[in-house]
Amino acid sequence: MSVAAKIQRAMASQSWIRQMFELGIQLKQEHGDENVFDLSLGNPILEPPEEVAEALKRLASDPPAGMHRYMPNAGYAETRAAIAAHLASQTGLPFMAAHTVMTCGAGGALNIIFKSILNPGEEVIIFAPFFPEYPFYADNHGATTTVAPTDEAFCPDLDALAPMLSARTKAVLVNSPNNPSGALYPADLLGQLGGLLARAEAEFGTSIYLISDEPYSQLTYDGLETPPIFHAHARSILATSFSKNLALPGERIGYVAVNPGCPDAGPLVDALTYCNRVLGFVNAPALMQWLVRDALTASVDVGWYARKRDFLYNELTGMGYSMVKPQGAFYAFPASPNPDDVAFVKELLQWNVLVTPGTGFGSPGFFRISFCLEDRVLEGAMHGFREAIAAYR
């Protein structure tokens, strides 16, 4: 076999999200699209807001000279400056263009961060439930991943985290609003986490980075807002994208922002820029860099998601499912009536309902539902959910 053994093993245990997506295609071929209710994939159906369409029209009708050429690996200076000004207004911190790097989405952002800071054998700590690609991203750059627990609200359990920190710990990665739980980490908790990391740095004589993956930061409900990570810890780094708030997941546009108060901010941004090139990203998509600088305050209709969140929560809890009401993102993470979440997910297939087992997110006993889809699909899935839980009452 010419494929590397490591990749063969990884492919054999590939993401449950991808497995369910492919199964959904098969079921639709067998039963018809209208009879299959696929709630497994976080692929939003909302179209981008009007500001995006207007920016595209302007760029197409009056393209700037050299719009499609290479630019510095960190991205256009004008776009980085616009993002820095936006961050400064949000946080009150002295962000400048030199603190930002444009990237190929949040996934590209995390990979250049890990490439920049990780030595072989060092450790990244993540919290379950977690986005399934995180361990692979860390492994890409020779690091190990350690999974820390969360509490009943899916927020980090700092008492459990404290003894896990060691001289090998190079980064702690948080994701809020969280995929898959929809949990939003409060500012005071992030502050306590930052204090814990600062004490660990002093104890071990090391640098520990607090990395926040925030593609859902603008999708929050009930008047809540995503707290800036930068007030929690000096060595904090933001990885984010415009995939969700501007409904541009296929365009792969995001950025990294390094805390202006980070002791090694300059060398770190230089490293991020270098890694953007040598990992093959080269630069973030040029057209999208022109576009997003004019749409930094734009967003899709968050109320559209909130209505679906409320429908799903009310329907499922009314049937007897136990779940924490999502505070952000567009996922719900109910407890499985069957402790074997994989078995329960397979039971739902009897009614052509597809969800993703919590096992795939490091949290057995739960399952993820995506609600970024048509009302027809959500409403049509309710019959299957009702029938599936009946056996466990």
Question: Tell me, what's the pLDDT at 21?
Answer: 72
Q: What is the mean pLDDT of residues 320-328?
A: 98
Determine contact, residues 363/129, Cβ cutoff 8 Å: yes
Q: How many CB atoms lie within 10 A of CB 128?
A: 17
pLDDT one-digit tens code per residue, 217-254: 999 999 999 999 999 999 999 999 999 999 999 999 99
Question: Tell me, what's the pLDDT at 11?
Answer: 74
Residue 29's pLDDT band, with cuts at 50, 70 and 90, is confident
Question: Tell me, what's the pLDDT at 13?
Answer: 64
* Distance separating alpha carbons of residues 295 and 316, to the nearest angstrom: 36
* Residue 388 vs residue 5, higher pLDDT: 388
Residue 14's pLDDT band, with cuts at 50, 70 and 90, is low
Residue 339's contacts (CB-CB under 8 Å, 6 or more residues apart) are 364, 365
Instruction: Write down the pTM of the prediction.
Output: 0.95
Q: What angle do CA 177, 183, 188 make, to 5 degrees?
A: 85
Range with lowest mean pLDDT among 28-37, 124-133, 279-288, 322-331? 28-37
Residue 188's pLDDT band, with cuts at 50, 70 and 90, is very high
pLDDT one-digit tens code per residue, 86-95: 999 999 999 9
* Distance separating alpha carbons of residues 366 and 41, to the nearest angstrom: 16
* Cα-to-chain-centroid distance, residue 384: 28
Mean pLDDT computed over every residue of the chain: 95
